[in-house]
Amino acid sequence: MASDTELTLHPDRLFPAEQAQRKVARAIFAEIEHLPLISPHGHLDAGLFVRDEPFRDPAQLLVTSDHYVVRLLHAQGVPLADLGLAAQAEGPSANGREVWRQLCAHWGALAGTPSRLWLEHELFELCDLRQVPSPANAERTYDQLVARLAENDLRPRALYERFGLEVLTTTDSPLDDLSLHQALQDDPTWKGRLLPNFRPDAVVDPGNANFRKNLARLAEISGEDTTTYSGYLAAIHKRREAFRSAGATASDHGVPVATTERLSQREATATYARLSKGEGSPAEVEAFRGHMLDELARMAADDGMVMQLHIGVVRDYDPATAQAFGPDIGQDFPYAVEFTKTLRPLLSRYGNADGFRLVLYTVDETTFSREIGPLVSYFPSLFAGAPWWFLDAPDAMSRAFTALGETAGISKLAGFVDDTRSLFGIGARHDVARRACAAYLARLVCEHRLSEKEATKLAVGYAYDTPKRLFKL
């Protein structure tokens, strides 16, 4: 057995403790472990692959840019500036060596979390580190990591190939000109597939502080007159077409959803006229959000782009911290959500449409068995998204597999979505998800609820076949 100071990866990690189930889990996992990775939703910068430069600072890579880790360390009382986050109104943030010391000092606080699993995988498999990070070895391990990151096999394009990525997607605003994606397509040395994902939140949510500014940029990039509702819709449609031309097969939506009721043409025109001028009531903001979600579903039914709905998160929870350090630093928190009543108007129109596909993601796991599972078990257009954010963890995945598998069947799960801002962590995240899937299906086999052959087929579907087919990749 490894000592407390030796970093290891046990081959049976996350597999059942019960011997018979563990044996079956091993067999199932062996069939999916090395399948190509399909990543239909994530937040990487396409510029990583255009530049293809070495990662120079392990602390920036493994701590500062990973909001999961930042959140956990901040909960231990570590100031955000000491984790490398730059405050806009303050002095410089900590340097990489100081940030690494903080991780080493609080390594034990990550025990039992998926972040610890991912970090251990990254440090062991990619960085060849064999020591558990600690205050005693912080200086030495930091230097080892700096030297390791300088090697060519850890550059972005090399990692893409190492992970066995077949396709990777980014998440992009309709205001993005997609020039980085075009640069990759024009590069004869680039052999991968990096596709944009259309996220229109910035121009369909009037609650966005920059909504009017974004409308002006939308007009500029589309060549349409966004001062009118008809011109606004034409601009969005034109941007969708630009994304599709760049290879996009899906859209992503993260606005608050309280309704999907469609406004009449007259109501929509009048409401947009007020909201585009910075006027309009909170009720009109909410009504317009719901109307536009329906409008985007209509577009999706026409052009075949898969809709992904991420809801149930209060983003940038502490306004003062968000103002000082910016978004995406880990201070997003879940709240209870409702799908059945909210989506009824939208699903009544498009739920049975041949060309429509909608994937539902939640951080409220009570909805898996109460709402998402039942909805997905009926509508052919609906699929259950992977457990997301706080639920992107082995035990939460197991609960989701159980709740959704019993109600809708594993084939109605959209597959795993790494949803990451860290290229370094993609392999680790898919490894954890595939192990969790194998462990769940092994239990069903040992309970004689399905055969090992069928369980393996379901695992292959979850890990590869379903996301590839569903997202048209």
pLDDT tens-place string over residues 192-218:
999 999 999 999 999 999 999 999 999
Lowest mean pLDDT among 41-45, 100-104, 214-218, 322-326: 322-326
**Cβ partners under 8 Å of residue 73, min gap 6:** 63, 83, 102, 103, 106, 109
Residue 18 three-state SS = coil
Tens-digit pLDDT profile for residues 235-266: 999 999 999 999 999 999 998 899 999 999 99
Instruction: Give the pLDDT confidence of 52-71 residue by residue, as tens digits.
Output: 999 999 999 999 999 999 99
Helix, strand, or coil (residue 241): helix
3-state secondary structure 293-360: HHHHHHHHHHHCCEEEEEECEECCCCHHHHHHHCCCCCCCEECCCCCHHHHHHHHHHHCCCCCCCEEE
List C-alpha distances in Å: 295 to 122, 303, 415: 42, 12, 26
pLDDT at 1: 38
pLDDT, average across residues 395-407: 97
Q: pLDDT class for 329, splitting at 50, 70, 90?
A: confident
pLDDT at 405: 96
What is the longest distance spanned by two Cα atoms in the chain? 71
Dist CA 195 CA 46 (whole Å): 9
Per-residue model confidence as pLDDT tens digits over 264-278: 999 999 999 999 999
**Structural domains of the chain, ranges and CATH numbers in brackets:** 54-154 (1.10.2020.10), 156-470 (3.20.20.140)
> Exposed e or buried b for every residue in 137-176, given b needs 16+ CB within 10 A?
ebeebbebbbebbeeeebbbbebbeebebbbbbbbbbbbb
Confidence (pLDDT) at 182: 97
pLDDT of residue 255: 87
**Residue 276 DSSP one-character state:** T
382: left (phi over 0), alpha (psi -120 to 50) or beta: beta
User: Looking at this protein, which amino acid is placed at residue 2?
Assistant: A
Ramachandran angles phi, psi of 73, nearest 5° = -70, -35
**What is the Cα gyration radius of the chain?**
23
What pLDDT was estimated at residue 460? 98
* Token reading at 132: 């558990």
Q: Give residue 88's pLDDT band: very low, low, confident or very high (50, 70, 90).
A: low
The stretch 135-153 carries a mean pLDDT of 97
Count of Cβ atoms closer than 10 Å to residue 302 Cβ: 13
Mean pLDDT across the chain, nearest whole number?
Answer: 95
| Res 322: pLDDT | 87
Q: Considering only CA atoms, which of 217, 210, 219 is closest in space to residue 238?
A: 219
Token digits for 457? 């087929």
CB atoms within 10 A of CB 66: 23
Q: Which of 193, 201, 156 is nearest to 176 (CA)?
A: 201
| pLDDT 10s digits, 344-378 | 999 999 999 999 999 999 999 999 999 999 999 99
Sheet containing 194-195, strands listed edge to edge, beginning at the edge strand earlier in sequence? 37-39, 165-169, 194-195
Long-range contacts of 446-451 (CB under 8 A, 24+ apart): 446/18, 446/20, 446/21, 446/24
pLDDT band at 3 (very low <50, low <70, confident <90, very high): low
